[in-house]
Chains A and B, each alone.
Chain A
Amino acid sequence: MTEPVLSLVGVSKRFPGVLANDNVDFDLAPGEIHALLGENGAGKTTLMNVVYGLYKHDEGQILINGKEVEIDDPNDALAQGIGMVHQHFMLVPVMTVVENLMLGNETTRGPRLGSLSDLDEKQVAEDVKQLGEVHGLAINPDALVQDLSVGAQQRVEIVKALYRGADVLILDEPTAVLTPQEAEELFRVMRSLIDEGKSIIFITHKLKEVLEIADRITVLRNGKVAGTTTPSETTEAELAAMMVGREVILQVEKGPAHPGDPVLKVEDVKVKDLREQMVVNGVSFEVRGGEILGIAGVQGNGQAQMVEAITGLAHVESGHVTIDGRETTNLKPRKVTEAGIAHVPADRHKHGLVLGYPIDENLILQTYYLSPFSRRTFIQPKAVRANAKKLVEEYDIRTPSISTLAGSLSGGNQQKVIVARELSRDIRLLIANQPTRGLDVGSIEYIHNRIIEKRDEGVGVLLVSSELDEILGLSDRIAVMYAGEILTVMPANEATKERLGLLMAGVREA
């Protein structure tokens, strides 16, 4: 085997109370795509941040082309030819593409006045165009980053790394924000980069992608290397087991749906955002009891605002929302909740939990004013604690105690607290917005089963997700939302990834 361009020997990284990377060995051969697979919190991003100089490792060595190097900050990494595309893009939204590309390594013209010289945007724009043409990464150098689509911003990030002379490219969860077609396009670019002699580390938790694109696969679990393999030697199930440490059922098991009467009717609803833009533009659909309606779509196409409109959190400009035969348009959120809905919000930190409250208080956020939790304006701590004990048991929330702060739980357990709170009430409709985002495979499995269980009890479920596998696995009917509109509603058995992907990109069906 040729000498690796990058190798890590026994790298460990500690955070207070956590061993994020434990004696990790990893190497990257020239011209290969090496996938780094693992659940959220397995230490993939931490490890790569060490390589990129954002963190300093506590033990171990980093070798570039066989020579040990010290990487203290991103400047060192860039100087060694390591570039990284972060999961959350590191682009300044109010600046142009060119400004973002030259930031930190500016090209200037005219008199040399050090950091007060004149920026040479034209030169950089030329260079960028050329670089883009070579790799098939079309970008407009003069556009403001905030006006670009997510896919285009990702291209800018890749070009930024190449522009800084990266030979080793680290891509952190690059497909999380892309439609399937955009992901295919990214894979094409990755292959062309390999042909140019670059090497790529591809971080992901999606098994299918790994098998499609990677040359080698290293699985991390709890900060340790669980194994290294190649796509031809392994299967999805095997990789999943390596990630989780036990056998996992990847396919959700569910029987046929028995839909009843409609529990949610949405008729021609329009919603504006803070900037007075119409972000939900005349949406109509219904959800019946005992079925799951999945709403697919790339994030930011109005799903969030639509859910907020149904739950009473956003103002409905026009149209009607009816829950269980009762009009709830623009009612206060408490009234909507009392009409029998449960809401698992997309952002569990911001909207799902009060992170500074203990678990038991988080579990009564909507019911604290009702008996038995309140009597004559006073909270009844005994009832609150009894409720919490019951739910922690029933929903398998792993916590040291019921008075642990919600903020100190793991993501999966936080989500379980929300699910417990929402599902333990008497509900007719469950709205689950990105219910499994950022969760490990085990927790995903658990939450999916709970959702199916509720459906089988006759509750209507509105599932909003940008994960196509989740939509396809759970839904009985599937709608696609694009630019504030519902494009198509189809029975689940007529949906394929390709069909949904095209709709998600805004290609209307004839």
Chain B
Amino acid sequence: MDSVFFIGILTLALIKATPIALGAMSGLMSERSGVINIAIEGMMLVGAMVAFLGSVAFNNVTGGGMPKAYSLVFGLFAAMLGAGLIAGLHAYLSIHYKVDQIISGTVINLLAIGITNFVANAYIDPNSIAGVGVFPKISIPILSKIPFIGPILFNHAILVYVMLILVALLQYALFRTPWGLRTRAVGEHPRAADTVGINVNRRRYINVILGGTIAGIGGAFLVLQSVGRFQKLMTTGRGFIALAALIFGKWTSVGALGSALLFGFAEALGVRLQLGDVNELQALVLLTGLGLAFLGLAFGLIKAIRRGSDTRPNRRIAIIAIAGIGLITAAMLIDWPTVNIPVQFLGLLPFIATVLVLAGFVGRATPPAAIGKPYEKA
């Protein structure tokens, strides 16, 4: 239980959180403008497949003469385009035809599964076609040399940095720019936006489709970063976890990143514990303790920043933090017995975390007021 273990697991957590955070950004774009997006999963799946096909096709057409990175970048843009098109369908159904947005999202998800499975069965031979490869890691000079934080944050492939930049950019754009102001207005009170001359439906179209391209990056990440090749149903529910992260993050991009990190951490933990070289029980207790301590710290910070407007009682924050520190101490002091936790259970961790978070900790997250309602011009 040393720092190598923590660095390893936190680095992995950030990597695992990346597609979830990208999915959540996609949902953020769409839902802030008032269109429910449960189709993130489908958009990511399509993005993943197109990323694979695009990069392989580019590589084949150019006969392998170009650097590998060109094929990967081409695949990335293809994924954004493909997922953007699927998002366009969602937008067209739910804005133009005013189809119930949950239904439209479900249709997109089913369609995506159908298309990708069909293409995978018909055109991707699991034995012969390998992918082009993955994006190389880029160590950021100087920053990556910082002890502990450096290797966790600044030694990743390009898409992880893209995700972090996108999160920061969206947080700024949503709350500090005319674009963000209009987007939020359209999601909260579209009629008010209309009366000051904002074209509600056009804005929704743009946001849903741009959001789709971000989901495409998330899907591309799975192929061009994690695995290197396309597998059927390879998103395995990440799009839905992204939706949970969006809600848990109260429809802000930094909040969504925070919850994506939590889910990513749970996934990384499952992966790491499967190696079987650490005491699983001790690790779980320790990490729960760390999580609680972190949560207490976060709540405390939020409270300090938003003096007055935050209503969480001080006592509850203190209890969470103390419980966390207590668990960490217990994990260190007690000699824990070795328990064999089935691998399958460890694989469930991100989903268990999702359920716990949604059931227990979300509290009163208020969605944009006009979400799910097609705009009728009076």
Taken residue by residue from 310 to 354, chain A's Cβ proximity to chain B (1 for < 8 Å, 0 otherwise) reads as 000000000000000000000000000000000000000000000
Binds A, one of B158-166, B180-188, B209-217: B180-188
Report which of A49, A89, A92, A164 forms a contact with B185, defined as CB distance below 8 A.
A92
B194 at interface (Cβ–Cβ under 8 A)?
Answer: yes
Would B176 and A54 count as touching, CB distance under 8 A? no
Stretch binding the partner chain, chosen from B10-18, B123-131, B195-203, B345-353: B195-203
Residue among B179, B184, B194, B197 making CB contact with A92, cutoff 8 Å: B184
A457 at the interface (CB under 8 A from B): no
Interface centre among A75, A94, A102 (most CB of B within 10 A): A94
CA distance A73 to B179 in the complex (A): 20
C-alpha spacing A438/B173, complex, angstroms: 42
Q: Give 1 or 0 for each of B72-111: 1 = CB within 8 Å of chain A CB.
A: 0000000000000000000000000000000000000000
Q: Across the interface, do A95 and B188 meet the contact criterion of CB distance under 8 Å? A: yes
Q: Binding site of B, secondary structure by majority: helix, strand, loop or mixed? A: helix
Q: Tell me if B178 and A54 are in contact (CB < 8 A).
A: no
Chain A residues lying within 8 Å of B378, measured Cβ to Cβ, are 49, 54-55
A130, CB-defined interface residue at 8 Å: no
Taking a contact as CB atoms under 8 Å apart, the answer to whether A74 and B188 are in contact is no
Q: A103: which B residues are within 8 A, CB to CB?
A: 181-182, 185, 192-193, 196, 198
CB atoms of B181 and A74 under 8 A apart: no
When chains A and B are docked, how far (Å) is the Cα of A301 from the Cα of B198? 34
The interface residues of chain B lying within 8 Å CB-to-CB of A102 are 181
Distance from B42 Cβ to chain A, minimum over Cβ atoms (Å)? 29
B309 to chain A: closest residue by CB: A144
- Taking the complex as formed, is A6 at the interface, i.e. its CB lies under 8 A from any CB of chain B? no
* Contact between chains at A104 and B179 (CB < 8 Å): no
Asked whether any CB of chain B lies closer than 8 Å to the CB of A106, the reply is yes
Residues of B in contact (CB 8 Å), total 23
B177 interface residue (CB < 8 Å to A): yes
A100 to B193, CA, bound (A): 9
Total contacts A-B at CB 8 Å: 81
Which residues in A have their C-beta under 8 angstroms from that of B229? none
Q: Within A60-106, which residues are at the interface with B (CB < 8 Å)?
A: 73-75, 78, 84, 86, 89-95, 99-100, 102-106
Instruction: Report yes or no: B185 in contact with A105, Cβ–Cβ below 8 A.
Output: no
A91 and B192 contact, CB distance less than 8 A? yes
CB <8 Å contact, B196 and A95: no
Once the chains bind, are B178 and A119 in contact (CB under 8 Å)? yes
Q: Is the CB–CB distance between B178 and A92 below 8 Å?
A: no
The smallest beta-carbon distance between B185 and chain A, in angstroms, is: 5
Cβ of A116 under 8 Å from chain B: yes
B303 at the interface (CB under 8 A from A): no
Of all chain B residues, the one with the shortest Cβ separation from A101 is: B196
The answer for the CA separation of A70 and B184 in the assembled complex, in Å, is 30
Residues of A within 8 A of B179 (CB): 115-116
Closest to A91 in B: B192
The answer to whether B195 and A95 have CB atoms under 8 Å apart is no
Q: A108 on the interface (CB 8 Å rule)?
A: yes
User: In the complex, are the beta carbons of A90 and B196 less than 8 A apart?
Assistant: yes
> A92 contacts B198, CB within 8 Å?
no
**In angstroms, how far is the closest chain B Cβ from the Cβ of A428?**
41
Q: CB-CB < 8 A to B194: which residues of A?
A: 54, 74
State whether the Cβ of A118 lies closer than 8 Å to any Cβ in chain B. yes
Question: Which A residues are in CB contact (< 8 Å) with B366?
Answer: 94
Are B189 and A90 within 8 A (Cβ)? yes
Known: A55-B378, A75-B197. A106 touches B178 (CB 8 A): yes
Whether B197 pairs with A74 at a CB distance below 8 angstroms is yes
Q: Inside 8 A of B184's CB, which chain A residues have their CB?
A: 92, 94-95
Cβ of B188 to closest chain A Cβ, rounded Å: 5
Task: Provide the main secondary structure of the chain A interface.
Answer: loop
B195 and A115 form a contact (CB under 8 A): no
Also in contact, A94 and B196, with CB within 8 A (given A118-B176, A119-B178):
no
Complex Cα–Cα for A102 and B192 (A):
12
Task: Confirm or deny: A192 has a beta carbon within 8 angstroms of a beta carbon on chain B.
Answer: no
Is A117 among interface residues, defined by CB-CB distance under 8 A? yes
A52 within 8 A of B: yes
- For A94, the chain B residues whose CB sits under 8 A away are 184, 188, 366, 369
The residue of chain A having its C-beta at the shortest distance from the C-beta of B191 within the complex is: A90
Contact A78–B197 (Cβ < 8 Å): yes
CB distance from B29 to the nearest CB of A (A): 14
A117-B178 contact given A74-B197, A78-B197, A86-B195, CB 8 Å threshold: yes
Q: Which residues of the partner chain A approach B185 to less than 8 Å between Cβ atoms?
A: 92, 95, 103
- Which residues does chain B contribute within 8 Å of A95, judged by CB atoms? 181, 184-185, 188
Cβ contact within 8 Å between B181 and A90: no
Min CB–CB distance B363 → chain A (angstroms) = 13
Distance in angstroms from B309 CB to nearest chain A CB is 9
Please determine whether A104 and B198 come into contact, CB atoms closer than 8 angstroms: yes
How far is A93 from B188 in the complex, measured between Cα atoms in Å? 8
Of all chain B residues, the one with the shortest Cβ separation from A45 is: B378
B177: contacting residue among A49, A89, A119, CB under 8 A: A119
The reply to whether B181 and A119 form a contact with Cβ atoms under 8 Å apart is yes
A174 to chain B, nearest CB (A): 16
Contact with B along A28-44 (1 / 0, CB 8 A): 00000000000000000
B181 surroundings in chain A (CB, below 8 A) = 95, 99, 102-103, 106, 119
Residues of chain B within 8 A of A105, CB atoms compared: 196-197
Of the residues B173, B182, B189, B195, contact of A54 by C-beta under 8 Å: B195
A118 to B172, alpha carbons, bound, how many Å? Answer: 9
Give B28 Cβ to nearest chain A Cβ, in Å.
16
Q: Which of B177, B192, B193, B378 has the most CB of A within 10 A?
A: B192
Please report which residues of chain B, range 143-184, place their CB below 8 angstroms from some CB of chain A when the two chains form the complex: 173, 176-179, 181-182, 184
Q: Tell me, in angstroms, the Cα distance from A84 to B195 when the chains sit together.
A: 9
How far, in angstroms, from A154 to B369 measured CA to CA in the complex? 21
- Chain A residues near B369 (CB, 8 Å)? 93-94
CB distance from A24 to the nearest CB of B (A): 19
Evaluate contact between A92 and B188: CB separation under 8 angstroms. Answer: yes
Q: Is the CB of A116 within 8 A of B198?
A: no
For A73, the chain B residues whose CB sits under 8 A away are 197
- Identify which of A73, A104, A119 gathers the most chain B CB atoms within 10 Å of its CB: A104
A475–B189 alpha-carbon span in the complex (Å): 39
Complex CA gap A104/B377 in Å reads 18
Q: Encode contact with B along A449-479: 1 for CB under 8 Å, 0 otherwise.
A: 0000000000000000000000000000000
Whether B177 pairs with A104 at a CB distance below 8 angstroms is no
| Among B178, B188, B192, B193, contact of A115 (Cβ-Cβ < 8 Å) | B178
A-B contact list, 29 entries, CB within 8 Å = A49-B378, A52-B195, A54-B194, A54-B378, A55-B378, A74-B194, A74-B196, A75-B197, A84-B195, A89-B192, A92-B185, A93-B188, A93-B369, A94-B184, A95-B184, A99-B181, A100-B192, A103-B181, A103-B192, A103-B193, A103-B196, A103-B198, A104-B198, A105-B196, A106-B181, A108-B178, A113-B177, A116-B173, A118-B176
Known A78-B196, A115-B177; further 6 A-B contacts with Cβ < 8 A: A54-B194, A74-B196, A90-B195, A91-B192, A103-B192, A164-B196
6 A-B pairs closest in CB distance: A104-B196, A75-B197, A90-B192, A106-B178, A115-B179, A90-B195
Give residues in B with beta carbon < 8 Å to A: 173, 176-179, 181-182, 184-185, 188-189, 191-198, 366, 369, 377-378
Residues of A at the B interface (CB closer than 8 Å) are 49, 52, 54-55, 73-75, 78, 84, 86, 89-95, 99-100, 102-106, 108, 113, 115-119, 164
